Amino acid sequence: MICENITVNEKGNLCFAGMDVTKLAAKYGTPLYLMDENRIRQRIRTYKNALTKALGEEAKVLYASKAASFCQMYRICKEEGIGVDVVSLGELYTAIKAGFNPAEAYFHSNNKTDEDIDFAIEKGIGYFVVDNEEELFVIDKIAGEKGKRQNILLRITPGIDPHTYEAVATGKVDSKFGSAIETGQAEQITKTALGLKNINLCGFHTHIGSQMFDSEVFFDGAKIMLEFISHIKNSLGYTAKELDLGGGYGVRYTENDPTIDIAANIEAVGKYIRNKCNELGLEVPSIRMEPGRSIVADAGMTIYTVGTVKRIPGYKNYVSVDGGMSDNPRFALYGSEYTIYIANKMNDKGQTFNCSVVGRCCESGDIIQENVTLPSSVCRGDIAAVLTTGAYNYSMASNYNRIARPPVVMLNNGEDYVAVKRESLEDIIRNDI
Ligand code: LLP
């Protein structure tokens, strides 16, 4: 199995976090998102412990809440004592409503509106991660009007190709994010920030890309950023106190994806950073990391009921489920790979049916996965489970075709509870006049 929280019980049913998936489907209905709370906490602790061990108590984990944003996630982050990364008023508002202290939140985005900035400063946001000069001036102005001096990090584009898929690569010079070192804009914005009265420049941020397994990329990112810090120290006499290295490591969607030892990787990055600082004559800055995917991805699973099974002789087969790109747009967007099981037929030996697992949305691109092998007995009423859907599935879900979003049910030591309710038909028309 691709993750240790996935097992099969004596009835031949798939279990997630030790609980029979078919029973949960019967209790809550489908489609259904399941989340394994212990796995989330375990992953947070892995990052937190490894980071503080490698780089001291000053080092901090920020959960990139775009991966899965709802009140219970922010409560978990609060209880685990980590910060969060938010990218919109919606995420910040959810965090605040959940009782999360906004002073522990970092506000990203390449285009913060005046309203975003005003609201966030009013609520006492910890930091803005500032993308560009235009935004810097607005923050300075609004902070000034409110009589505040705002903490910021500057988002720097290091000019690295992360070898991941294009839509999630962000470190290249031509990226829409940040200010590039190569073009001189990174130094320029630093100079500007240092000259603004209501801005407290705390350091720099970089994010190279998502779903990365290559630890070299993290070394490269750290190297370029520490050299930049050293350059700025010499050219502007400013020493950055904080360095945020962006998102976390990749996750296993299928058996073909590598397993990654996060703690060992962080230890190696920590060692690299300490050596590099030594070489450059720098004090080690307080390091931040912002994992999203690797905190929640394999803590999630989506459960569907199988509907139409269509065989087109000589061509292909389809297994349709009662959700689709409305709850999981990742195959349509990125061609993402997934592992799919028929949860009530785990011991069925006839795993020979090659098919595309598709949704119920009204378009051909509504595919969850192609080239899937399922039991040839697969039929209407079976329960299908798509693994590793905890990251960027619920958070990217839509009401396309006016399909209601599934609920999120959390599993915790044999208990299950609703963290997000199923949308009703009334919810669908809530804002219609
Ligand atoms: N920090 C920043 C500034 C980011 O842009 C991201 C992800 C993260 C942290 C978290 O990275 P992670 O640990 O999750 O790799 N919707 C896409 C993923 C977009 C990622 C955007 N930024 C997907 O479904 O694969």
What pLDDT is stored for residue 212 in this prediction? 83
Mean pLDDT, to the nearest integer, of 196-200? 98
Q: Classify each residue of 321-359 as buried b or exposed e, where b means 16 or more C-beta atoms within 10 Å of its C-beta.
A: bbbbbbbbbbbbeeebbbbbbbbbbbeeeebebebbbbb
Q: For 42-88, how does the pLDDT look when each residue is reduced to its tens digit (9 = 90+)?
A: 999 999 999 999 999 999 999 999 999 999 999 999 999 999 999 99
Using CA atoms, how far apart are residues 397 and 377, in angstroms rounded to an integer? Answer: 30
CA-392 nearest atom, ligand 1: 24
Q: Which of 250, 274, 291 is the last residue of a domain?
A: 291
215-219, 258-262, 324-328 — most confident range: 324-328
pLDDT band at 162 (very low <50, low <70, confident <90, very high): low
Atom 11 of ligand 1, residue of closest alpha carbon: 247
Give the lowest-confidence range in 13-27, 198-212, 312-326. 198-212
Domain extent, residue 200, equals: 108-291
Residues 228 and 137 in one domain: yes
List, in sequence order, every residue forming a beta bridge with 418; answer none if it has no partner: 409
pLDDT band at 214 (very low <50, low <70, confident <90, very high): confident
Q: Which of 93, 109, 77, 113 is nearest to 292 (CA)?
A: 77
User: Which amino acid, one-letter code, is at 344?
Assistant: N
Does any domain span residue 42? no
Residues 284 and 328 in one domain: no
Q: Which of 227, 260, 291 is the last residue of a domain?
A: 291
pLDDT band at 169 (very low <50, low <70, confident <90, very high): low
What pLDDT is stored for residue 1 in this prediction? 84
Cα(55) to ligand 1 centroid in Å equals 23
Q: Structure tokens of 419?
A: 């963290």
Mean pLDDT, to the nearest integer, of 295-305? 98
Cis peptide before 313 (omega within 30 of 0): no
Atom 6 of ligand 1, residue of closest alpha carbon: 247
Mean pLDDT, to the nearest integer, of 177-204? 97
Q: In this structure, are residues 92 and 123 in contact, taking their beta carbons and an 8 Å threshold? A: yes
User: Based on the structure, what is the number of domains in the chain?
Assistant: 2
Residues 256 and 317 in one domain: no
Would you say residue 168 has pLDDT above 70?
no
pLDDT band at 217 (very low <50, low <70, confident <90, very high): confident
What pLDDT is stored for residue 164 in this prediction? 61
pLDDT band at 320 (very low <50, low <70, confident <90, very high): very high
Residues 186 and 332 in one domain: no
Residues 239 and 311 in one domain: no
Token pair 């005046």 is found at 114
Q: What is the pTM of this model?
A: 0.97
Residues 226 and 342 in one domain: no
DSSP state of 390: S
Residues 137 and 232 in one domain: yes
Q: For 406-417, how does the pLDDT look when each residue is reduced to its tens digit (9 = 90+)?
A: 999 999 999 999
Is 362 catalytic? The answer is yes
What pLDDT is stored for residue 290 in this prediction? 97
Residues 272 and 379 in one domain: no
Q: Structure tokens of 64?
A: 């990139």
Q: What is the CATH number of the domain that holds 322?
A: 2.40.37.10
Judge residue 381's burial from the number of C-beta atoms within 10 Å of its C-beta, 0-12 exposed, 13-18 middle, 19 or more buried: exposed
Q: For 99-149, how does the pLDDT look when each residue is reduced to its tens digit (9 = 90+)?
A: 999 999 999 999 999 999 999 999 999 999 999 999 999 999 999 999 999
Residues 199 and 236 in one domain: yes
Q: What percent of the chain has pLDDT over 70?
A: 97
What pLDDT is stored for residue 127 in this prediction? 98
Using CA atoms, how far apart are residues 250 and 262, in angstroms rounded to an integer? Answer: 10
Cα(250) to ligand 1 centroid in Å equals 10
Would you say residue 191 has pLDDT above 70?
yes
Mean pLDDT (the chain, rounded): 96
Using CA atoms, how far apart are residues 33 and 241, in angstroms rounded to an integer? Answer: 40
Cα(290) to ligand 1 centroid in Å equals 9
Q: Which of 3, 71, 77, 362 is catalytic?
A: 362
Residues 259 and 122 in one domain: yes
Would you say residue 165 has pLDDT above 80?
no
Residues 382 and 276 in one domain: no
Q: Collapsing DSSP states into helix, strand and coil, what is residue 92?
A: helix
Would you say residue 185 has pLDDT above 80?
yes
Cα(122) to ligand 1 centroid in Å equals 27
Q: For 222-232, how does the pLDDT look when each residue is reduced to its tens digit (9 = 90+)?
A: 999 999 999 99
pLDDT band at 383 (very low <50, low <70, confident <90, very high): very high
Residues 199 and 125 in one domain: yes
Using CA atoms, how far apart are residues 274 and 86, in angstroms rounded to an integer? Answer: 29
Atom 15 of ligand 1, residue of closest alpha carbon: 210
Which residues are near ligand 1 (CB < 6 Å)?
64, 67, 85, 108, 168, 170, 207, 210-211, 246-248, 290-294, 330, 334, 392, 396
